[in-house]
Amino acid sequence: MEPGNKRNLENDLKVKEKANNEINDNLAIERTQFANERTFLAYMRTSMGFILAGFSLIQFFKGQVYVWIGALFIPAGIILSLIGMWKFIAKRTAIDKHRANYTPTSHLHAQLAAEEERQNNQNFPQ
């Protein structure tokens, strides 16, 4: 293989690798966002369980102990839902900030950078 063709092939591979890295970065951000949503839903599911358990204890058991335990479960579920909402919003804000700061280069930019590097290598032989 000729040295010029080898250099072109290496630059083309670098451009493709950069494009693949950008795709991987975007997918990683999406996975993080989905994980945040799943965690939020788990908090909501758990808090609903606490609230429903509290109402069930109060409604179906007439003993004073069960009423007090049920009365504690209801605010615990509400507090848990508020904590989950707070964590979800904080993490979503961090993800959005990261996404705004992330500036992927397009394929065209990567190709132009490879062309500039190729020209610089031709102008200044080693």
Whether 15 and 114 have beta carbons less than 8 Å apart is answered as yes
pLDDT at 99: 81
Q: pTM, whole model, 2 decimals?
A: 0.67
Q: What is the pLDDT of residues 52-62, one digit of tens each?
A: 999 999 999 98
Q: What is the pLDDT of residues 86-102, one digit of tens each?
A: 999 999 999 988 887 77
Q: What is the pLDDT of residues 57-82, one digit of tens each?
A: 999 998 999 999 999 999 999 999 99
Domain boundaries, the chain: 3-113
User: Alpha-carbon distance 72 to 76, whole Å?
Assistant: 6
Kindly list the distances between the CA atom of residue 1 and the CA atoms of 42, 52, 109, 121, in Å, as whole numbers in the listed order. 58, 72, 27, 19
pLDDT at 58: 94
Whether 87 and 42 have beta carbons less than 8 Å apart is answered as no
